[in-house]
Structure 1
Amino acid sequence: MNSIWQEFLGASGARIDHGLVMDFGDAAAELAAARDATIVSPLTHLGLIDVAGPDGKDFLHHQLTSDVNHLAADAAQHSAWCSAKGRMLASFLIFRSGPDYHLQLAADLLPAMHRRLQMFILRSKVTVADQSGCRELVGLSGPQAEMALQTASLPIPAGLLSTAAFAEGVVIRLDNSRFEIAIDSDAATRLWPDLQSHARPAGTAVWQWLDIQAGIPLITAQTKEEFVPQMADFERLGAVSFHKGCYPGQEIIARTQYLGKVKRHLYRAHSASPMAAGNAIFSPANPDHPCGMVANAAPAPTGGYDALVVVQENFVAAGDLELASPGGPRIDLRSLSS
């Protein structure tokens, strides 16, 4: 996060801890607003890597799980980068500005992924750049989101996962009522007051809760290399192509898909106790070994915590899962479709 942007947010009432916007003074009211009204949130838990150069498209197509070759100039797509064993090193939202590609990922993974991507460039005509100091990400959600964009003189993308460029950045439509804005840092401070005129400022956890409700997992430092893409439902998001050529982990990912060997799946979860990414999940039927893991978690507007969790299928039906340790707090699951 750019220091000017951080100082601006602090002056606007943001409570910032270790680079994350915790809240704007009333976390509970901000969560309630996310459920029923319109919020605007600095997405300081996310970062951007730019991939540019004449070989940028081919480079990404042969590294990531999605079909980058067919990513249109006005579209975004979910994707992942995997180890040779098919385990996700990071998850991305990819979008374009002209010939350049932007990879949005968890901020705590950005330095390591930036270095690792550079290692694979070899002779390709590609540059990989960390955009943390010059670009900001802002989330906008709720029934007045489009009105807020209009007030800020920003374009409104038409379709889901479509994008619209403007002078200082890009607007991405995530779903019917949620947008992300990637904007130059020096323009973010000018944009914020217009967005705030139709939306309540909210902290990072509020946006994380919205992602959980949307069923969109984010791989972080706590869950790096824990899941193959199908465990986290990435094929549902269009983040995995089973028809493209080779990429790291492709053979294992394809074999898992076609042989039906996915034993763990993604669920929404709720617990009265705090949950955090990386927390183990246990079943009384097999207390010696975890049967799942929390992928992402955030406080819930109605109390307790909501989460996305990956759980071994044969332990789900009993409804007796426990958090963090055998005999730990109860976790209630529901399918993503419910």
Structure 2
Amino acid sequence: MTDWIARLGGRREHDDRVAFDTPEPARRAMDATVMTPLIHLGVLDVEGEDAKRFLQGQTSAQVSLADGDFAPLTCFCTPKGRVLANAQLWRVAEGRYRLLMHRSLVTRLHDHLKKFAAFYKAELTPRPDLALLGLIGREAPAVAEVRLDAMPPAVWHQAEGDDLQLLAHPGPRSRLLACLPVERVAAVWEALAAQAEPVGNAVWCLHDIQAGLAWLTADQADAYLPQMLNWEALGGISFKKGCYTGQEVVARAHFRGQVKKRLVRGQLDGALLPEPGSAIEDADDRRLGEVLSAELDAYDQAEVLAVIGTREPVEPLRVAGQKLKRLQLPYPLERVDPETLAAKA
């Protein structure tokens, strides 16, 4: 992976972060079309005669909705309803499904699911041979149509291009994610460069924060109910499907209103990025929750996603010595059925 990043002119700052020399990358994403390698994300394939049935018993998604058009959010839980991994699911071909998640969870989820896959005709395969590229900007759909030979899909849907899949994600600007073989990256990158500027993947992560979309890492697994990540408000839980691991707890929390923590979006009054897990504290020094992710915005202020208690806190809130201002989420905290989203394309 390091080799193909270097061939694109990027430099790896650590395992999950790549940077380029483009100045003010977050601002460029507001004004122009930008592209970035999404090295913080990874892919796990599930394939076989029983792949659909196997996934149906493990994931919060209604797997039949992943039909080659709709590509729903989903999550995998423990029997206690805690999220082991949250992901996006799409169908590559009949009996072949693909899961997108944080790269640190690919092996962990593979090892967890392998214990159950032994009872099905289904194989699990991590895909380090696939690359993920992000395209951001008002003109991103037009650029993708011309340069990737793919008709841009609606948000949480998929389209096929020339030996790649194209997914649309929400955000303050249009966002498209291309999944393609590593050996094709250089040629695709060169084609996109005619209309897009390279930026580091911190820009994509910032837009995830602004979209209210949290991707758990391995360090954050087995800690939250899906609703604590606002997953039902993003259409990531089907309450109309049958049983899956953790379903009883997840459903009870929803129907009895027992979710005591929620994902919130905020902005700090400084440029110091808090580490994931940093405490959110109120004016009485009580810990309310913790940071999941943080990135600098176009104005060099830190924006964060955090999980905190739903009780009204004693203001002001702070994290890492900086004041935290709550920002509005781009969606209401209401249940959105994936069945409804699938029908909106």
Shared fold (TM-score, shorter chain, > 0.5): yes
Structure 1 residue 285 displacement after superposition: 3.4
Structure-1 residue corresponding to 2:206: 209
Alpha-carbon distance in structure 2 between the residues aligned to 1:20 and 1:155: 28
Alpha-carbon distance in structure 2 between the residues aligned to 1:65 and 1:276: 29
Q: Scaled by the length of structure 2, what TM-score is found?
A: 0.89
> Which has the larger displacement, 54-63 or 172-181?
172-181
Correspondence 1:228 to 2:225:
yes
Alpha-carbon distance in structure 2 between the residues aligned to 1:285 and 1:83: 34
- Answer whether contact 1:268 1:309 (CA < 8 A) is retained: yes
Structure-2 residue corresponding to 1:278: 277
- Answer whether contact 2:61 2:236 (CA < 8 A) is retained: yes
- Answer whether contact 2:18 2:39 (CA < 8 A) is retained: no
Structure-2 residue corresponding to 1:127: 123
Structure 1 residue 298 displacement after superposition: 1.2
AA in 1 matched with 2:127: Q
Q: Choose which of 75, 79, 89 in structure 2 pairs with 1:80.
A: 75
SS of 1:76's equivalent in the other structure is: coil
Alpha-carbon distance in structure 1 between the residues aligned to 2:250 and 2:284: 29
Q: Choose which of 13, 21, 25 in structure 2 pairs with 1:30.
A: 25
Q: What is the 5 A alignment of 1:31-46?
A: 31-46=26-41
- Answer whether contact 1:34 1:210 (CA < 8 A) is retained: no
SS of 2:60's equivalent in the other structure is: coil
- The CA RMSD measured in Å over matched residues stands at 1.8
Q: What is the 5 A alignment of 1:118-267?
A: 118-132=114-128, 134-175=129-170, 177-267=174-264
Structure 1 residue 286 displacement after superposition: 5.5
AA in 2 matched with 1:101: Y
- Answer whether contact 2:278 2:319 (CA < 8 A) is retained: yes
Alpha-carbon distance in structure 1 between the residues aligned to 2:223 and 2:282: 19
SS of 1:182's equivalent in the other structure is: strand
AA in 2 matched with 1:164: A
Q: Which runs of 5+ in 2 are unaligned?
A: 332-345
1:256-298 Cα distance to aligned partner (Å, 9 max, x none)? 11111112112111111312322221223362xx211112211
- Answer whether contact 2:46 2:98 (CA < 8 A) is retained: yes
AA in 2 matched with 1:240: I
Structure-1 residue corresponding to 2:326: 333
**Which runs of at least 4 in structure 1 moved beyond 6 Å after TM superposition?**
none
AA in 2 matched with 1:311: I
Structure 1 residue 305 displacement after superposition: 1.1
Structure 1 residue 45 displacement after superposition: 0.1
Alpha-carbon distance in structure 2 between the residues aligned to 1:118 and 1:8: 30
Q: Scaled by the length of structure 1, what TM-score is found?
A: 0.91
- Answer whether contact 2:8 2:189 (CA < 8 A) is retained: no
> Equivalent pairs: percent with the same residue?
30
Correspondence 1:12 to 2:11:
no
Q: Which runs of 5+ in 1 are unaligned?
A: none
- Answer whether contact 1:47 1:104 (CA < 8 A) is retained: yes
Count of aligned residue pairs for this structure pair: 326
Alpha-carbon distance in structure 2 between the residues aligned to 1:112 and 1:119: 12
Alpha-carbon distance in structure 2 between the residues aligned to 1:255 and 1:331: 32
1:176-220 Cα distance to aligned partner (Å, 9 max, x none)? 711110001111111001112111111121110011111111111
Q: Choose which of 304, 307, 326 in structure 2 pairs with 1:307.
A: 304
SS of 1:7's equivalent in the other structure is: helix
